[in-house]
Structure formats: structure tokens, C-alpha cells
Structure 1
Amino acid sequence: MHMHMDHGNMESHGHEDMSGMDHSMHMGNFKQKFWLSLILAIPIIFLSPMMGVDLPFQFTFPGSDWLVLILASILFFYGGQPFLSGAKIELKQKNPAMMTLISMGISVSYFYSVYAFIMNQLQPHEHVMDFFWELATLIVIMLLGHWIEMNAIANAGDALQKMAELLPDKVKRLNNDGSEEEIALQDVKENDRLIVRAGDKIPADGVIVKGSTSVDESMVTGESKTVTKNEHDNVIGGSVNGSGTVEIQVTGTGETGYLSKVMDMVKKAQTEKSKLETLSDRVAKWLFYIALIAGVAAFIIWWLVDKDLSIAFERMVTVFIIACPHALGLAIPLVIARSTSIAAKHGLLLKNRNALEQAKDIQYVMLDKTGTLTEGKFTVTGIEIISAKATKEESLKIIGALENNANHPLAIGIMNYLEENNISPYKVVNLQNISGVGISGIVNNQEVKIVNEKEVKRLQLPFKESIKTTYEAQGNTLSFLIINGILVAMIALGDSIKSESKAFISNLKQQEIVPVMLTGDNVSAAEAVANYLGITTFYGGLLPEDKEKIVQKYLDEGKQVMMVGDGINDAPSLVRATIGIAIGAGTDVAIDSADVVLTDSDPKDILRFLSLAKQTQRKMIQNLWWGAGYNLIAIPLAAGVLAPWGILLNPAVGAILMSLSTVIVAANALTLRIDN
């Protein structure tokens, strides 16, 4: 059987569609290319003039021009390869941008310089200016810019691979003769019977045919409560079995399983989420067309006026080379590097630079409840004494005795509470699991039980309904302590709201951003949290596909949506949203699906991200004006627009302006700050 989720046979998704970075980042190791290209470029810089002007540190020797040609040829084909490959893709997509502009600059520089070299060898007394110096510096600086950007932005992990890892590699199958055998997950077939013991991951979708247990489905569905499962109940592959051992009959494996469907949604969202054209790409596209038109026009006009092919050709080449300023290649990467450095100090990991550009337009923030607005773990929210049979502390010691050896989330929450309050549990003997009901045992020679409300009603043990009303409204799980047949206490466990969540929601509203809560929890639990936090729009009882559909609905209406979540069930929505933000304490799947990760799991960091994004956007625009503004002046002058008045851009002056704009761009990037 082909297993769609086979760990060793995962289809890798295309980060290009979701990362927001241009495709050049997939074309080789920029760090290695930069350093090797720098080694090749240094001799060229020392041995060849800058746009025909000999600099003080430059020198030549017999045969140095041949050395420059050889080194420049290696540099062009090796160091320039990512840009040439990128340009090929852009032109194939009929969308010329930064890669095409850079490729035009380095290609014209190289091939014209080879022509100049040949002409100078044939006619040594009629020197033709070459552009080897420009070729070398342009390639090295552009490689540096891309390396800086890649180094600043975290590489997106593979969310699909992380989903596959939720399932065990080996499972226990029950044969017809009653024997057990361990088999590989990919060998599981529908209708197989599998044994799932306490604490194991459930390997496939199925129906319980024997036994009962509690299952933690929060990692898959987002439901914060553990779910009691009895015979004939369905279980989901990837969820975690609690305290009971069960036999399940497999109903879904491979491509038919629930987890596989979530993976398909993530893959589809990654494919369909359009790759936004970045600011620098838009500027580069216009510069490419401007330079191409200006260069060709300059060639035609100069040839018609002077009838000198070499002068016309030189003017065109100068326009093409000047059109690709070094500053433009560094304008955005330097701001990104500065921005990611600042972000890291404030608990933000920026994985997609497009998120910085899109943040200014966000209108709605979709928030998962469990783990995002709440702590995402069960804690004791209250204990109510119903009978004088035992005090609060006595009751907790008895409850602790029963839950001490259990590993399900409720038991862990209870034991953590006891530890925090320095309460030591009693000892228990004859501990037994009561299927679908709870736990029983003997504590201090008394018969004690922890049971659910259904069992309390079956036993017809009286208690005031008002005791549980508030807890139920807040979505708590209730358990009841019975001592020698008498109902003594009720303990409530719930997912507590993060202390900073209320202020965060209020601040979002002040910025005229609408908070919307999406949760897999039941509607009553969702409503309680929403009312407390002041969220007017909320959706409860959602499956992953429901969350994604809601995000898509808002997007279809032209809204800009940010999704914040931490679970596997949030992954499709995180990918689908305009910006996906993962809580760092959440699952690897959510983190790998997101554009931004909050490493401190603090919702207020979203506000810092929005502030940083605004500052970053401003600096990007400023730098692009400095980088491209140079062209607006240099291209017409290089083409000879003012030649009739005796003004023609000297290549050396063009080089000085180019260097000046690069310095300004770098200095401006360093002034980026974030509002605390």
C-alpha cells in the first residue's frame, strides 16, 4: 500500500511560493559563491580601470589584461550563474525584475568588455574602454546582498514532513489468531486491528472496538479538552492516547486519513498562495524597461547623429551598466538584515520578508484560542467542597493519590497544582481504571473514586447545579470526588487565559484592526473567552478545513488577514492567510507553516511586529528612492539627453554617484528602530 505520509517518501513543498523571497535563493550557496567570487574579483579590481579611470591603487604588468579576461570569464559564469538562471525564470514568466536587471548589467559588462579586449589586441593604439571592474564589483555586491538577505531570514522548514512525524514508524497489529506483530506504518491496511497502549500515538484513523480511554486531540484538532473515547467511537491518527489501552479497527490510512487531508490542505494553500512581487522587484522591473528603452534609443540617436557605430554602441552599453546600480542590490537586503536583527531581540523570528511589506494593510487578525490567547495546558481553576466529609486540602491529597501515576493532561494539571501548592498526595492501593467513568482506589482505608458528571448522575448523588455553572461557562472540565459513596468535592480544570491577552486585544482595536477568534473548542468555551477578552466575532467547534475556509472567505472579500496559531490544525490557515504568525511554544508544523514566529509566545509581540513592519517599510521605500533615484538622473545623462548643451555623463562621475548612493543606502538602513 502506498502511504501518502510515509516518512521517507515525503513530497517537499515549494518554498518559493510561500517564502516571499525571489527564486535566486534556491540557486546555489550564496555564501560560498560570494567568497570565491570575491577572491576572483580582487585581482580584477587592482588590475583594471574603473569605467576607464585608473585609480591610485591600480597597476598593470605585461599579460595582466589576459589574467583579467580569464578571471572575469570565470567570475561571470560562476558568480553570475544565480542571476542568469533567475533572469531566465523571470523572462519565461514574462515578469522581468531584479534578476533580469542584474543579468543585463553583468552580461553587457562582460560581453562588451570581451569585445573591447579583442579590439585592443587588434588595435593597441585605439583603446576601447572595458567594464571588467564594473562586472567584478557588481557580481560581488549583488551576491553579498542576497547572502545578507538569506542569512537574515530563517529558512522555512517542511511543515508536511513535521506532520508525517506525528505518526509512529511501527505499530502493533492484532492477527486473527490473537497474536501481536509489529509492522511498519506503511503496511497498515483498512480494517486492520491495531493495539494502542497508554501514551502511544494513534497511528491511523479508526474505530475503537475494545476498551476505553481519553485521547488528547489538541495537536490535531485544536480542542483543548481531552476527549473520552469508548467502544464504537472514532479516533484520529496523530492524536495521543491517554490512560487506557484500546483496540482500533483502521478506517483511514495513507491518503484517506484525517491527518493526510490536513497535509493536502497545507500543500494546496502553499501552491495557491501567490508570490507577491516585492517592492525591489517592482522597481527593478521598471528600471529594466527604462534602461532597455533608453539604451536602444541612445544607440539609434547617436548613430543617426554621429554616424559612428562605436560611439553609439558605447553610449548604449554605458546606459545598460549604469542602470544596474550597486545600491539597488543592497537597498532591501540591508534593511531586512537590520530588521531581522532587531526582531530577534524582541522575540520575533521573521521567515518571510513579504510579511514586512504586507503588514501595513492588515485589517483582520484571526486568533486561535488554545495556546495563543490561552496557556494551552490544563491547570486547576477551582475546587468546590460539596460535603464536610473532607477539607479542600484533604480532597486534593486524595485526588492526587489517584492521579499520581497517570500521564493524561488532566492528571498532569492536577499534579502540577499540588506541587505548586506544596501538597503531598496520599498513597493509594488497588488502583483501578473504570472504563468510561474515571479511577477508583483505596486511600487511608477509604474507597475513593474520581468520576465524571455522567457517573454522578447515574449514582443519583445530589449536588447544587449552580456550583458548576460558572466553570462550565468558561469551558472547564469537571471531575468529582466520591468517598465511601458520598459526593465530597468537585475539581475544575481549564485552559487559563494569558494575562497579556486582554491588553493585546484592546491595542489591536485601537489600531482599527478587528480581532476574530477561531477555535476547535466548543462554542460555549469559545464564547466565554471571547466575552472576557472583548472579542465580538468568534467561531467555535472548528476543524482545520473550517478555519481555512473562514480565512479564505475573508480573503475572497478583499480583506487582508493575519492568522495567529500554534497547532497542527492551524497550519493550513497560517499558510493561506496574508500573513501567518506562529506561537513559538506551539507545534513544529505550525512554526514551519508561518511567515513569522513569536519565540516568546507573547501575543503582545504581534504589536511589536506591526510596529517594526511599518518602520521597515518606510526604510525600504527610502532606500529604493536612494538606490533607484540615482538611475533617474544617471540614465538620461548617460544616454546623452543633455549632449546638445555640452553635458554628457562622464563614466567616472557615474561611478562616484553609484558609490555615493550605496553608502547612503547602508547608512540609512542602520538608522532603523522599533517602537517599544
Structure 2
Amino acid sequence: MDNKHNHIKTEHTVSSETMNHAMMNHEGHEHHEHGHEMSGMDHSMHMGNFKQKFWLSLILAIPIIFISPMMGIDLPFQFTFSGSDWLVLVLASILFFYGGQPFLSGAKMELKAKAPAMMTLIAMGISVSYFYSVYAFIMNHLFPDKHVMDFFWELATLIVIMLLGHWIEMNAISNAGDALDKMAALLPDTVKRLQDDGTEEIVSLKEVGKGDRLMIRSGDKIPADGRILSGASSVDESMVTGEAKLVTKNTGDTVIGGAINGSGTIEIEVTGTGESGYLSKVMQLVQQARSEKSKLESISDKVARWLFYIALIVGLSAFLIWLLVTGDLSQAFERMVTVFIIACPHALGLAIPLVIARSTTIAAKHGLLIKNRNALEQANDLQYVFLDKTGTLTEGKFTVTGISLLNQKYSEEEALKYIGALEADANHPLAAGIMNYLKQKTIIPYQAKDLKNLSGVGVTGTIDGLSVKVVNEKEVERLSLSIKQSEKEAYLKQGNTISYLLIDDQPAALIALGDVVKPQAKAFIQALKKLAITPVMLTGDNKVSAAAIATYLEIDDFYSELLPEEKEKKVKEYLDKGNKTMMVGDGINDAPSLARATIGVAIGAGTDVAVDSADVVLTDSDPFDIIRFIDLAKQTRRKMIQNLWWGAGYNIIAIPLAAGILAPIGFILNPAVGAILMSLSTVIVASNAMTLRIKGE
């Protein structure tokens, strides 16, 4: 895997300047994409502060509600005074153009995309209400003896309730961060560049160009993709590739920007600049996957689209039929307007947001942060769950998996004290794993003197007059030390990294470090299978290590040694066959797959880039939370469908009645009755949303 990985990454680099440039280029586009993902209404996420719009619109609406009649019916709390109709006209005009602006702009986008949905339906309702009411105002002033009913009351309540629904949903769904910004943060701000005379200068990363020589010391972040000119080291690429194993790097090998250098000092030549960098390429994959995934349509958008077409057809038909039958233009016009307004019930604007708000609150209590509301709808009928190995099924960090004594003169505790003495002040991942192990065992290491890093080899020091080293396999071979294959074979098969303790250049012990399976992972896999969902493991790790984990967890389908683009491609293959998929991961290499899958789930302890690319975040890093999310999603979708029936279902009866289908037998739906039905359905959807529960609550 390493050779393949290194070969492909040649000629790439990335800089903070590039990332910032890319972020600027994609910013508007990404906000639009994300808005479309969440729902048709969410086209307008970037069109203003909905909280502010709601409160200001409510202030404008309150006088209208108290002064203007509801569909021609004076309510008990309403009053009028001289010139009150002019006040209503002014306030309604401000309200229509200010509070209604997000819906009008959203409708424009939907119609431009030839996909009318919720925004178009709302825009039709408020536009017809406003312009017909202005017409009614003019007619009532020109012909006082012939009263024309206005819809200012409906306009005010419709805008306020729709803004409220939008605000509730926005408040419930956490805003996605900018993954490009997080990607840039993986790289250092300054680097050590070598000049022609061999001296070092500290420069900003954005000043680095192709062919520059950089000096990277132990523990430094590698600032750019490049080729090693001199030196050797072990590099931790897990943050980028997802493989929890130090990769040995020698002269001529390539390194990836964003990885962390180990104990050696290396000099590299930058092999590329700009958008050809590895991290930048990963983000291009994320952007592309997001763009294509944004085509997912929410259930409320589908309902709104049908309502829009039905209302448009029925309304225009009613106008023509009434005009032909009665010859009364005013009456025909009124029937059409009534149909258009009744077709946009207030309840529909709250039906989904209230369920989403309730669902996300429940989810947060259970360690689930939902960033994309479509995830709650798409989680039904899942067929495959793709699981990254490192950090998802395993702990994702170096842990001591075993220690073997190679010289019976020393006990295991003594060996660990020697190893701990040398690794106590080191800053690479292996050292951290060893010191955590000693802490758990409450072992206090010896004190070492004359500590020195051995470039690309390990570390050495003096303890009680003895020369002590902790070295890698390469150094053991160089010293021609004989160690039985049986002592290390089991560890190597599991993909572990082995370090050797040498005392006076003689082997004393070996210590193996690797990734360990999360304790709840096995039960989680069985739970998925009980739900008739097939688990598939995707990993950048080597085949031997992947097979061992898959066998232990009883995962039949797994793919190893995958690069980020290969993971994303594998997910796309399943999607192209019509399958609903979920991807669960925590690393940068998972980001494109998280963005591509029907639902992307990020482990909260993972990288910010993965979190920003996902639809759902597991804050507790417990894979079993995925089962809880699937259960919540099913309960949520059931409530959504129920609310949509209550919120829009009555239109099956109300629209034909408003059009006058029963006029031949003397029955025409009174607009006031339609308004009462609207109010009743609003109360029902609100009450129904609050009954949402998750198992175990």
C-alpha cells in the first residue's frame, strides 16, 4: 500500500494561500449546495438572518392581525379606525417585500432550476395574497358600495409562520463548517527553507514554490508534498491516509503534506504547488460529491411540488369555468385566488420543521449531531453501511498490543522501565502509546542521560551506565542481531509496528504497537445484520491487518489499501446500482466518501475535515450510536409523513371545494371555514411532532 500511495502522490503540494483561494472560489457555491441538501426551503440559507426577519416581521404582522379581518370575517379581538386600512396596506407592503424576500428569491431559484417546491408554493401563496389584496384595496376605495374581500390577514400570518418554521429548522440543524479552512489548518503557517548556501530561513508557507528545499525536524508537520533528498524517518500519515502505522521513509521516498514527521530529520524538495496538492485533491473530491449528492430531494419538497401544480391547474380551471358559467370576472377571480391561498396551508410550513426540531433535540441528548435534515429521511431502507477501520471500528491510536522478552535476564516491568526512560520526552505517536501504557500499568520509568535521536532509527541514551536503545527493524538488521521470526510473526500479521529494546547492543525485548478494536464494535456489527443492513469495511490499511479485523468482527465484505479517491469510487459503485448507503469515518481520507454516500456519519473524535463533510456527527465516538440514529430516523420519517398528511392532506378536499366543485348543489367553501381548517391542522401537526420518541426514552 505504501509504495502505491507514495507513487501516486508525487508532484503534489498545497499551501494555505491555495486553500484560502479555493475556499473563496467555492464559498457561494457550497452554501447553495448545502442549502439544497437540507430542503427546498433552504435555498435561502444565505439570504438573511431568519431569526431577525421573523421578529421584525412579527412586529409588522401584529397590527395587521388586529385590524384586518380574517378572510372577510371580523374576529372578536379585531378593531378598526379612520385610516386603518391605509396603515394595513403600508405594513403589509413592507412585510411582503421584507419578510417574503427569502421565499421569493428561493422560488426564483427553484423555477430557474425547473424544480418548483416548497419555496415556490409559499411564494405563490404570499404573492397572490398581497397583490389581490392591493387590488381589493383599490376597488374598495374606488367603489365603496361594492366590497371586495382582501387577504392581508392571511398574508401576515402566512409569512410569519413560514419564517418561524424556517427559523426553527435552521436552529435545529447545526451549520456545516468550512472543510477547506480546516484542511488548511493541517499545515504549518511557517516552514524552514534552505538557501543556496545551506543556511535556513523561516518563511510563510504561501511563499514556498516547486523545487524549494525544506528542512523538517522530529515532530514537525510536513508542510507540503515532496521528495526526500536526505535523511530518514518514520512518518505518521494516519491523519491523512487513515492508516494507524508509522511509515518508514528514506531518501528518494515521497511524503504528504499534513503528515507528522517522526524521530528523524529529513530534507525534502517540494514537488508541486497549488491545486495539485494531495489535500487539495481530496477537497475537490468532497466538493464534487457534495454537488452531486445535493440532488437528493426531501419528502416535503415532493409534496410541495405536487401541491403547487395541483393548485395552479385547479385555480386556473376554476377561473375559466366560473367565468364561462357566470360571466362574472370578479367572482371567477375570487375563486382562483381562494384556491391559491388555501393550497398553501400554514401547517405545511411547520409540519417538517417541528419534527426536525424535536428529532435533533432528542438526537443531541443521545450524542448525535444532525447537520443535514435529509439524513433523517434517507436513513430509512439503508442497505449498506460502509465503515472505515481506523478510528471507527478501532480506537484509531497507537496502543501497546504486546511485549516479548528476548533476554530472560530482564523482567517485563524492567524492560518497560528502560523503554519508558527513552520515550518519555519524545513527541511521536509511538512514544505517546508507550507512555500511556506505562501510566495504565502504574510503572515509573528509569531516568536516562545523554538522550539522542538516531535519525530514521530510534533513540538512544544511558541508564545506570548501560547503553540503551529503542530502534526499528532496520537497525536490528544492520546490527545483524538474531531474533526468531516466531517472536514477531503474530504481531506483524496484525499489522503492528514493532520496536526493539537493545541494552549494550544486545536484544532485551520487543514491544508491539497497533490499533485495537473498540469493545462495542462486534455487537454493533451484529446489530446491523439484524436490521438486514450489510456492513462493508473500507480501509487504507494493509490487507493483512484489514483481514484480521474483518474476520474478528465477522464482516464478510471488506476492501483494503484504498486511497481516498478509491474509497469514494467504491461508495459510488454501490450508489450507482440504486443502493442506499451510509459511510462512517473519521479521517481526512474518509471526507470524499462521507460527502458521496447517501448519509455521511463522522466520528466526533476524528478530524474536523471529516466532521465538516458529514451529515451526522457521533460526539461520543460510539459506533452503536449509529443504530440509535437509524431507529430515530425511522421514527422521524413516520412523524414527517403523518404531519404532511395533516398539513397538506386536507387540500384533497379543500382545494376542490374552494374551486366550487359543489356549487351546482348550492355549496361553496367559505374562505373563513378554510382558514379555520388551516389553524386546526397547524395545532395538530405541532402536537403530533411533540409525541416523537426514541426507543429507551
TM-score by length of 2: 0.95
3-state SS in 1 of match to 2:601: strand
Within 5 Å, give how 1:366-381 maps onto structure 2: 366-381=386-401
Match of 2:154, SS state, is helix
Residue 268 of structure 2 aligns to a residue in which SS?
A: strand
Q: Deviations over 1:172-221 (max 9, x none)?
A: 11010122222222221111101112222111111111222221111111
- Residue 277 of structure 2 corresponds to 257
Partner residue in 2 for 1:16: 32
Give the match for residue 29 of structure 1.
49
Q: Once the two structures are superposed, what CA deviation does each residue of 1:74-112 show, in whole Å capped at 9, x if it has no partner?
A: 000000001111111111111111111111111111111
Structure 1: how far apart are the matches of 2:519 and 2:368? 20
8 Å Cα contact 2:14/2:276 also seen in 1: no
2:158 counterpart of 1:138:
yes
Q: Which of 35, 58, 66 is the equivalent residue of 1:46?
A: 66
Identity percentage of aligned residues:
73
Q: Tell me the equivalent position of 1:278.
A: 298
Question: 1:527-558 CA distances to partner (integer Å, 9 max, x unpaired)?
Answer: 11111111111111111111111111111222
**More moved, 659-668 vs 90-99:** 90-99
Following TM superposition, by how much is the alpha carbon of 1:360 offset from its aligned partner in structure 2, in angstroms? 0.9
Query: In structure 1, what is the equivalent of residue 662 of structure 2?
Result: 642
Matched, 1:524 2:540: no
Match in the other structure for 2:265: 245
Matching residue within 98, 115, 124 for 1:104: 124
Stretch moving more, 447-456 or 316-325: 447-456
Tell me the residue number matched to 1:455. 475
* 2:6 match: none
Select 1:569's aligned residue among 589, 602, 613. 589
CA distance, structure 2, for counterparts of residue 197 and residue 484 of structure 1: 27
Which residue number corresponds to residue 202 of structure 2?
182
2:384 equivalent in structure 1: 364
Instruction: Report the Cα offset of residue 451 of structure 1.
Output: 1.8
Aligned counterpart, 2:636: 616
| Distance in 1 (alpha carbons) for counterparts of 2:445 and 2:16 | 47
CA-to-aligned-CA distance 1:314-338 (integer Å, 9 cap, x gap): 1111111111000011110000000
Is structure 2 residue 568 aligned with structure 1 residue 548? yes
- The aligned residue for residue 113 of structure 2 is 93
CA distance in structure 2 between the aligned counterparts of 1:475 and 1:132, rounded to whole angstroms? 71
Write the distance in 2 (CA, Å) between the matches of 1:472 and 1:641.
79
CA contact 2:214–2:269 (8 Å) conserved in 1: yes
2:4 equivalent in structure 1 = none
Whether the 8 Å CA contact 1:15–1:156 is kept in 2: the answer is no
Structure 2 partner of 1:537: 557
2:428 is aligned to 408
* Displacement after TM superposition at 1:421 (Å): 1.3
3-state DSSP of counterpart to 1:276: coil
Q: CA deviation at 1:267?
A: 1.9
1:156 alignment partner in structure 2? 176
The change in CA–CA distance for 1:432 and 1:583 in structure 2 (over 3 A counts) is same
- Trace 1:482-493 onto structure 2 (pairs within 5 A): 482-493=502-513
Q: In 1, are the aligned partners of 2:403 and 2:412 still within 8 Å (CA)?
A: yes
Q: Is the 8 A contact 1:351 1:595 kept in 2?
A: yes
Specify whether residues 274 and 7 from structure 1 end up closer, same or farther in structure 2 by C-alpha distance, changes over 3 A only.
closer
Q: In the superposition, relative to structure 1, how do residues 559 and 506 fare at CA in structure 2: closer, same or farther (>3 Å)?
A: same
Matching residue's letter, 2:38: G
* Aligned partners of 2:581 and 2:598 also within 8 Å: yes
What is the rounded CA distance, in whole Å, between the counterparts of 2:273 and 2:380 in structure 1? 43
**CA positional deviation for 1:2:** 10
Moved more, 385-394 or 577-586: 385-394
Q: Distance in 2 between matches of 1:428 and 1:321?
A: 82
Q: Deviations over 1:241-261 (max 9, x none)?
A: 122222111112222222221
SS at match of 1:14: helix
Q: Does 2:89 correspond to 1:77?
A: no
- Secondary structure of 1:321's counterpart equals helix
Runs (5+) with no aligned partner, structure 2: 1-12
Matches within 5 A, 1:107-122: 107-122=127-142
Paired position in structure 1 for 2:498: 478
Q: Which deviates further from its counterpart, 401-410 or 206-215?
A: 206-215
Q: Distance in 2 between matches of 1:172 and 1:454?
A: 28
3-state SS of 2:537 partner: strand
- Worse overlay, 477-486 or 123-132: 477-486
Correspondence 1:382-393 to 2 at 5 A: 382-393=402-413
The offset of 1:7, in angstroms, is 4.7
Which segment drifts farther, 439-448 or 45-54? Answer: 439-448
2:209 and 2:128 map into 1 onto residues whose CA distance is 61
Measure how far apart 1:168 and its partner are.
1.7
Deviates more, 1:257-266 or 1:290-299: 257-266
Larger mean CA deviation between 201-210 and 126-135 belongs to 201-210
C-alpha contact (below 8 Å) 1:154/1:351 kept by paired residues: yes
Q: Distance in 2 between matches of 1:127 and 1:64?
A: 16
**Distance between the aligned counterparts of 2:251 and 2:117, measured in 1?**
60
> Displacement of 1:507 after TM fit?
0.6
Tell me the TM-score normalized by structure 1: 0.98
Q: Is the 8 A contact 2:173 2:371 kept in 1?
A: yes
Q: 8 Å contact 2:264–2:454 — kept in the other structure?
A: no
What is the match of residue 238 of structure 2?
Answer: 218
- What is the SS of the residue equivalent to 1:478? strand
Structure 1 residue 231: Cα displacement: 1.9
Equivalent of residue 520 in structure 2, options 470, 480, 500: 500
Structure 2 counterpart SS, 1:360: coil
Gaps of 5+ in 1: none
Contact 1:25 1:146 in 2 (8 A): no
C-alpha distance in structure 2 between counterparts of 1:266 and 1:657, whole Å:
46
d(CA) in 2 for partners of 1:372, 1:101: 42
Q: Which stretch shows the higher mean deviation, 194-203 or 5-14?
A: 5-14
Looking at structure 2, the residues matched to 150 and 274 of structure 1 have their Cα atoms a distance apart, in angstroms, of: 17
Q: How far apart in 1 are the matches of 2:301 and 2:660?
A: 27
Q: How far does the alpha carbon of each residue in 1:361-382 deviate from its partner, in whole angstroms, 9 at most, with x for none?
A: 3111111111111111111111
Query: Does the aligned pair in 2 maintain the 1:367–1:564 contact within 8 Å?
Result: yes
1:630 aligns with 2:650: yes
CA distance in 2, matches of 1:240, 1:258: 15
RMSD: 1.5
Deviation at 1:3, TM superposition (A): 5.5
Q: Deviation of residue 5 (structure 1)?
A: 5.0
Corresponding residue for residue 6 of structure 1: 18
Residues 114-148 of structure 1, C-alpha deviation per residue, up to 9 Å, x if partnerless? 11111111122221111000000000000000111
* 1:588 matches 2:602: no
1:473: how far off?
Answer: 2.1
**Cα deviation, residue 657, structure 1:** 0.6
Counterpart code for 2:287 = K
Q: Say whether the 8 Å CA contact 2:104–2:120 is kept in structure 1.
A: yes
Deviation at 1:422, TM superposition (A): 1.2
Residue 435 in structure 1 maps to residue 455 in structure 2: yes
Correspondences of 1:279-358 after superposition (within 5 Å) = 279-358=299-378
- Tell me if structure 2 keeps the 8 A contact 1:442–1:448: yes
The number of equivalent residue pairs is 676
* 2:8 aligned partner: none
SS in 2 for 1:467: helix
